[in-house]
Amino acid sequence: MNIEFWGVYALTVFLASIIPGPSMILALTHGIRYGAKRATATALGNCAASFLQALVSIAGLGALLVASETAFTVVKYAGAAYLIWLGIGAIMSGDFSMDASAESGGENVSSGRLFLQGFWVAAGNPKAIVFFSALFPQFINAGQASVQHFAVMLGVLCLIAFLCMMIYASGGERVREFLKGSAVCRHVNKILGTAFVGLGLSLACSRR
C-alpha cells in the first residue's frame, strides 16, 4: 500500500471529521468548561464510538441501518433526544463561573462521565455509519480485504478523530481564557446549552 493511498484516506477522514457537528461542539464545550486536559476523556469516548461505528460498517452490518428507515429513525431520534437533554442540563446549570479551576473540572464531573458523553453523542449520530458505509468501499478492494488492512484503516480513523476532538477542546480552552472577566462569561452555559438543543432539533429534522 503506497503513501499516496493512505494520504488520500487520511485527508478524507480529516476533512469529514473536522467539520463542526455535535461531537466537535461537545469537545469545544468541554474545553471551555473543564479545559483541554480533562476533555481528553471526551475525545476518547468519541473515538470508542467511532471505532464501533466503523467496525459495524466494515462488517457489513451498516448496510442494515442504511437500508432500514425504521432503524435509522430510531437511532436518529435517540441521538437528538440526548443532545437536547445535554442542552437543557447546561441551560439549567446556572451561570458559568471562571472561579472554578479547569484542572479540577469546576463542577464535580468525573472523567468517566465525560467519556460517556463523548461516546453517546457520537453513537447517537446514525449519519456516521452511513458515511463509513460509503467511505470504506472506496478504499477497499478484493486484494486489500485483510485483517491488517482493516486494522490500519480503523487505527488511522481513531487517531484523526481524537486529533480533531482535541483541536476543538484546545480551542475551547483558549476561548475560556478570552472570555474571562467579560460580561458574556456568565452566559456561556446558556449559549452552549442552546447550541446543543439546536443541534438536537436539527438532527431530529434532518434526512439522510
C-alpha cell at 1: 500500500
pLDDT digits (tens, 9 = 90+) for 14-25: 988 888 888 999
Counting residues of the chain whose pLDDT is more than 70, the rounded percentage is 79
Cα–Cα distances in Å, from 57 out to 81, 149, 157, 167, 191?
Answer: 24, 15, 13, 26, 35
Give the C-alpha separation, 105 to 126, whole Å.
Answer: 30
Tens-digit pLDDT profile for residues 82-107: 788 888 887 886 666 555 444 444 45
- pLDDT of residue 30 exceeding 80: yes
pLDDT at 169 over 90: yes
Of 120-124, 182-186, 203-207, give the lowest mean pLDDT range.
182-186
Is pLDDT at 194 greater than 80 in this prediction?
A: yes
Domain boundaries, the chain: 22-205
Q: How far apart are CA 111 and CA 107, in angstroms?
A: 12
Do the beta carbons of residue 160 and residue 17 sit within 8 Å?
Answer: yes
pLDDT value of position 27:
94
Question: Among 40, 37, 39, 47, which residue's Cα sits nearest to residue 17?
Answer: 47
Give the pLDDT confidence of 66-75 residue by residue, as tens digits: 666 776 777 7
Distant-in-sequence, close-in-space partners of 15: CB < 8 Å, separation ≥ 6: none
pTM summary value: 0.76
Range of 27-41, 87-101, 166-180, 193-207 with top mean pLDDT:
27-41
* One-character DSSP codes across 72-131: HHHHHHHHHHHHHHHHHHHHHT-S--TTS-TTTTSS---HHHHHHHHHHHHHT-THHHHH
Q: How far are the Cα atoms of 10, 61, 111, 147, 173 from residue 86, in angstroms, in the given order?
A: 31, 29, 16, 38, 20
Measured CA to CA in angstroms, residue 38 lies from 21, 106, 133 at distances of: 20, 11, 32
pLDDT at site 136 = 78
If you average pLDDT over residues 27-53, what whole number do you get? Answer: 92
Tell me the mean pLDDT in the region 32-53: 93
